[in-house]
Structure 1
């Protein structure tokens, strides 16, 4: 609504309701508009906070995924090293089958 439209409505209300009722009506309309504005501002603030929390959650999830990936890569590297260490090595057993460096007991 433009200012001329509001002025026309108030003029008609002044004629129909009279000066006392028009002032009461204007006061109540002013309070109603103030409450609507406060409610709208609160709603916008809540939407802003929700959007901000959503972004934070997405960033946290992304960071956690990156950390999880790096942890998994580290674990895979450790496992690969263990597999390399567990590979069979060439042994030099004695001719009788005992491992080298052990003494056999003779009677």
Structure 2
């Protein structure tokens, strides 16, 4: 699974601006439309509340550091754990600076 994380990071480096903008707009629209419950999540406006069950991988202050994000996802085996009851939570500044801010998003 570690190679899957590297593959995802490489694909992020190739994304075109228009595609990135579309994905962000789609995600924003979905969060806005999805008030209510979705699986173990409650969505209120743009806030996603996570039920206190399962496991969480919490990442903070990446500042656009794609290499660190890749390392964290590999070391935590997140892709394998995500198939179970594990969520990924970003706190703080994950894409506000750095050469790869867009790719981290």
Q: Which has the larger radius of gyration?
A: 1
Higher strand share: 2
What TM-score, normalized by structure 2, do the two folds share? Answer: 0.25
Larger relative contact order, structure 1 or 2 (CA cutoff 8 Å, min sep 6): 2
